Amino acid sequence: MKPRQLAYLDALGIDAYESRAAVRSRPASGPAPPTSPQAAAQDGGSAGASGLDTLDWAALRARVAACTACELHRTRTQTVFGVGSEQAEWLVIGEAPGAEEDRQGEPFVGRAGQLLNSMLRAIGLERGEVYIANILKCRPPGNRDPKPEEALCCTPYLARQIALLRPKIILAVGRIAAQTLLATAVPLARLRGQVHRYGAFATPLVVTYHPAYLLRSPGEKRKAWADLKLARSVLAGRA
């Protein structure tokens, strides 16, 4: 392990030697039959965002910026489209913008964003090398959970982003992202530690905790580290 990675693991509060415990990877499990809003996340179908299939990045960004398909447009400062390399192999998907993301127009900023950056660096990735997006492009007031109808309206945008990006690995961070993408109500703890498949290209998908949760529950950082290593192994063809 490189000194720089050790430094970041230290910053995460993770012991590098304990963290070498093997992560068991079970065979890929397919998602349950799609049901809304998860179906929209899987296949791009939508009540609120149709006709996305031919849009390039710029046109898709413009569509999102002008979107009024659900109530959240009334309370947003701006839409939060996503950030990162459009050639990225890694796609990180979170839940929805928070207050700071709503202000800055970028996902995963603030303390949770800094922790995500540290997590990525621990596996040798700079933030700009991955693509980061959310299930919802607008902030739910008070940081409440997304409503199913909001996810139904918004996830086709994410589906188009995924179709444009064609990532080699998806990291779903947090319960909402994991359950929406995998079309399941299974608790996050049971979705971790295995390789799922997403969408038409059966893209490998690994589930981990949201950095905001890890800030509240630092004892879970070792599990998040294990998840990251699993994802890295999948990309390297070792899992």
The owner of tokens 């109500």 is: 185
Among 39, 40, 52, 72, binds ligand SF4 (CB under 6 A): 72
133 binds ligand SF4 (CB under 6 A): no
Q: C-beta of 37: minimal distance to ligand SF4 in Å?
A: 10
Among 40, 60, 64, 224, binds ligand SF4 (CB under 6 A): 64
In sequence order, what are the residues at sequence separation of 6 or more whose Cβ sits closer than 8 angstroms to the Cβ of residue 60? 52, 81, 157, 160, 161, 164
The region, left, alpha or beta by phi > 0 then psi within -120 to 50, assigned to residue 124 is left
Q: C-beta of 64: minimal distance to ligand SF4 in Å?
A: 5
48 binds ligand SF4 (CB under 6 A): yes
34 binds ligand SF4 (CB under 6 A): no
Q: C-beta of 163: minimal distance to ligand SF4 in Å?
A: 17
DSSP letter at 30? Answer: P
Given a contact cutoff of 8 angstroms between Cβ atoms, the answer to whether 216 and 208 are in contact is no
- Token readout for 148 is 């199913």
Among 19, 38, 42, 79, binds ligand SF4 (CB under 6 A): 79
User: Which residues inside 140-199 make contact with ligand SF4, applying CB under 6 A?
Assistant: 150, 153-154
Number of amino acids touching ligand SF4 (CB under 6 A): 15
Please identify, using beta-carbon distances, which residue of 37 and 84 lies nearer to ligand SF4.
37
137 binds ligand SF4 (CB under 6 A): yes
Q: C-beta of 102: minimal distance to ligand SF4 in Å?
A: 11
| DSSP, residue by residue, 107-176 | SS-HHHHHHHHHHHHHTT--GGGSEEEES-SSPPGGGPPPPHHHHHHHHHHHHHHHHHH--SEEEEESHH
Given a contact cutoff of 8 angstroms between Cβ atoms, the answer to whether 177 and 132 are in contact is no
Stretch of residues binding ligand SF4 (CB under 6 A), selected from 122-130, 136-144, 178-186, 216-224: 136-144
Q: Coil, strand or helix: which one is 198?
A: strand
Q: C-beta of 193: minimal distance to ligand SF4 in Å?
A: 31
Stretch of residues binding ligand SF4 (CB under 6 A), selected from 23-31, 68-76, 178-186, 190-198: 68-76
Strands 83-84 and 131-134: antiparallel
Q: Coil, strand or helix: which one is 4?
A: helix
Stretch of residues binding ligand SF4 (CB under 6 A), selected from 1-9, 87-95, 111-119, 132-140: 132-140
Stretch of residues binding ligand SF4 (CB under 6 A), selected from 10-18, 67-75, 168-176, 205-213: 67-75
Report how far residue 153's alpha carbon sits from residue 136's, in angstroms, rounded to the nearest whole number: 9
